[in-house]
Structure 1
Amino acid sequence: MSEQFYSDARLYDRLFPGGEPAVDFYRAQADRQGGRVLELGCGTGRKLIPIASDGHPCTGLELSPDMLTEARRKAGESALTVEWVRGDMRDFDLGRTFDLVFIAANSLLHLHEAADLLSCLRSVRAHLAPGARFVLDVFNPDLRMLAGADGVRRTRDGLSFEDPDRGTVRVDVAETYDAAVQVTRGTWHFSTELEPDFLVAPLELRSIFPQELPLLLSLAGLRLLERFGDWSGRPFTGDAGIQLCVCEAD
């Protein structure tokens, strides 16, 4: 995982605000399933805390201690009980099963090797109760965008934000794509007028192509039930921005 990118959890939340359609989707999935909920790569709890507020027993597993600290703070601020566990989604054993397991916001793409992806998915399979669902969302790779990752630093439209301590923060990104391993390697630059490049952090994400994903799931003992192309439930097509997958144990 690109640890430095997640070293300032509050900055991360300001960088990626909102996300209400995704939160609503996962809350609806939890309501449909009932019972216990596990999120892998839970970050600062942006999706899990609202699910816990609906009355579901929730567990969040996260590798970054900084993100977990912020998740605990936010849950405590709302007087919500959530079990926060520091752990690696590649290989985990919580000693019990869950009615809904999910991996949101491209978190699965931090696993670059096929062996790590399969180990994660097999661990998910081992934690599914009878009738449980596993849900994940990852971006749908855009070949034109990947081909345009030329290493040139550019300001990323729509990602500038206001920081209460620093003022306006501009975000520049330089990316290259390694087709041999399907990994985009980026360097993110965070700057203000007074503090250029106050944070420079690498971020590397794997691409999982549409024909590849069902095979990975199958090899892990999971079956793809539905794949949507957006949060409204539109059927997945080649030009969809995301792959939103609902799975069950095979």
Structure 2
Amino acid sequence: MDEPFYADAALYDRLFPGREESIGFYRAEADRQGGSVLELGAGTGQKLVPIAADGHAATGLELSPAMLAGARRRAADAGVEVTWVEGDMRAVDLGRTFDLVVIAANSLLHLHEVDDLVRCLRSVRRHLAPGGRLALDVFNPSVHLLARADGVRRRRDALTFTDPDRGVVHVDVAETYDAAAQVTRGTWFLSTDVEPDFLVVPLELRSVFPQELPVLLALAGLRLVDRFGDWSRGPFTAASPIQLCVCETDRAAAGG
């Protein structure tokens, strides 16, 4: 994980405030499954706290202490109980199972090696109750965008936000793509008009291609049940911006 990127939970929430439609999707999945929910890479609890507020027993695992502190504050502000655990999604062992496991907001893509991805997904399988499901989202890699990752610093106007202390914050990103590793290596620059580059942090995310994902799941004893291309459950196509997946235990693998 790129620790400096997640060292300021409040700043992260302003940069990535969470989309209502994504929160709504995971709340609906929790309601559909019923029972308990585990989120791996829970961040500041943007999705898990509303799920807990809906009455689900909720547990959140997060590696970053700063993000975990932000999640605790969010839950306290909402007046809901969530069990928070500091830990690595590759090696989690909570000693119990859950009806729904969530890996949201590209959290899976912080794992760059195939072995790490499979270890994480096998942890998911161990934590799924009978009939339980995994719901996750990762972006759908665009070869055109990856080819344009040339290391040039560019402004991301869509990410501009207002900080109560600093004012308007602009975001620039310079990225290169390591095709052999399938990893985009970026540097993010946050600036105001009076304080240029007040924060410069790395962010590296793996690409998981559509034909690769079912193989990774199969190696972990899971299978893909549904794959949507948007938060309204539209069909997944080559042009879809995300891979929004619902998975379950592969019974054949479980019995083998």
TM-score by length of 1: 0.99
The residue type equivalent to 2:68 in the other structure is L
Q: Number of matched residues?
A: 250
Percent sequence identity over matched residues? 72
Give the Cα–Cα distance (whole angstroms) in 2 for the partners of residues 192 and 22 of structure 1. 29
Name the SS for the 1:80 alignment partner.
coil
Runs of 4 or more above 2 Å deviation: none
**8 Å CA contact retained: 2:100, 2:133:** yes
Instruction: Trace 1:84-99 onto structure 2 (pairs within 5 A).
Output: 84-99=84-99
| Contiguous gaps of at least 5 residues in structure 2 | 251-256
Offset at residue 144 of structure 1 (A): 0.3
The residue type equivalent to 1:153 in the other structure is R
Q: Which residue matches 1:7? A: 7
Offset at residue 157 of structure 1 (A): 2.1
The residue type equivalent to 2:231 in the other structure is W
The residue type equivalent to 1:152 in the other structure is V
Q: Which residue matches 2:19? A: 19
- 1:138 has 2:142 as partner: no
Name the SS for the 1:138 alignment partner.
strand
Offset at residue 79 of structure 1 (A): 1.3
- 1:192 has 2:192 as partner: yes
Q: Which residue matches 1:51? A: 51
| Contiguous gaps of at least 5 residues in structure 1 | none
Give the Cα–Cα distance (whole angstroms) in 2 for the partners of residues 102 and 95 of structure 1. 17
Q: Which residue matches 2:112? A: 112
Give the Cα–Cα distance (whole angstroms) in 2 for the partners of residues 18 and 70 of structure 1. 14
TM-score by length of 2: 0.97
Q: Which residue matches 2:165? A: 165
CA RMSD of superposed structures (Å): 0.6
Deviations along 1:50-103, one digit per CA (max 9) or x if unpaired, are: 000000000000000000001001111111100000000011100000000010
Name the SS for the 2:158 alignment partner.
coil
Give the Cα–Cα distance (whole angstroms) in 1 for the partners of residues 210 and 158 of structure 2. 27
Offset at residue 193 of structure 1 (A): 1.4
Give the Cα–Cα distance (whole angstroms) in 2 for the partners of residues 131 and 145 of structure 1. 38
Q: Which residue matches 2:254? A: none
- 1:122 has 2:122 as partner: yes
Deviations along 1:145-199, one digit per CA (max 9) or x if unpaired, are: 0000000001112111100000010100000000000000000000111211111
